[in-house]
């Protein structure tokens, strides 16, 4: 529902995972004498090749290579890309649930803050003994605000029952506020839901 770049995240996680697997496999393979000898020979040859490239790209009147400047610029670019990637995580949150600037019958505008719906639903859900936890947030969906209600029912509670009762709460909220808001209801489970005992009411 939010604008998190999930495809890019999955690709990056896959690449990082592959790199770590290759590094781990190489580290384990170095325990084999033949692979260890190959690695020493290859590393020595690679070091000589790098030294040759650095000597061939030395700045005029200097002892250092201009490749280090390129490496530094690439590192700065990498940091900028990482900051942009972090900034794009979880985008799409909205602070406004509804807005009306109709001038009939009185000129002016009416704005309903997203916190009104979030706190109302959160308070109603917190009173339920069949839920371990709940979370309510507002996002922009196709240019309009929409609610995301995530609930964590206790073990043994039917998910469809929870979804229906949450839908009833949302319908009641729409009647009170006078606006109909798209809602995504997410019924999740976690370790806390599995290991928390339901409270008994006598």
Q: Which helix (H) or strand (E) holds 24?
A: helix 6-29
Please give the sequence-ordered ranges of beta strands (E in DSSP) within 17-128, or none if there are none.
96-100, 110-113
Classify domain 96-195 at the CATH topology level. Answer: Alpha-Beta Plaits (3.30.70)
* Cα gap 107→197, rounded to integer Å: 54
Q: Is the pTM of this model over 0.85?
A: no
pLDDT tens for each residue of the chain, 202 residues long: 555 667 888 888 899 999 999 999 988 998 889 889 998 999 899 988 888 888 888 877 777 888 888 999 999 999 998 888 887 776 667 777 776 666 566 666 777 777 888 888 888 888 888 888 888 888 877 777 888 888 888 888 888 888 888 888 888 888 887 778 888 888 877 555 454 444 333 3
Q: Any idea where the domains of the chain sit in the sequence?
A: 6-87, 96-195
Tokens of 96: 């406004």
């Amino acid at each position: 529902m939010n604008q998190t770049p999930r495809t890019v995240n999955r690709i990056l996680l896959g690449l990082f995972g592959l790199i770590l697997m290759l590094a781990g496999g190489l580290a384990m393979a170095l325990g084999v004498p033949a692979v260890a000898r190959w690695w020493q020979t290859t590393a020595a040859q690679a070091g000589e090749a790098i030294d040759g490239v650095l000597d061939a790209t030395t700045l005029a009147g200097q002892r250092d290579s201009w490749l280090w400047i390129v490496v530094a610029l690439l590192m700065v670019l990498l940091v900028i890309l990482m900051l942009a990637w972090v900034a794009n995580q979880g985008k799409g949150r909205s602070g406004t649930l509804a807005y009306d600037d109709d001038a009939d019958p009185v000129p002016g505008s009416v704005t309903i803050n997203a916190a009104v719906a979030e706190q109302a639903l959160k308070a109603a859900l917190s009173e339920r003994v069949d839920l371990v936890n709940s979370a309510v947030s507002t996002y922009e969906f196709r240019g309009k605000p929409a609610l995301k209600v995530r609930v964590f029912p206790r073990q043994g509670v039917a998910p469809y029952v929870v979804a229906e009762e949450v839908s009833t709460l949302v319908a009641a909220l729409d009647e009170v506020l006078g606006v109909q808001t798209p809602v995504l209801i997410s019924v999740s489970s976690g370790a806390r839901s599995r290991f928390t005992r339901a409270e008994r009411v006598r």
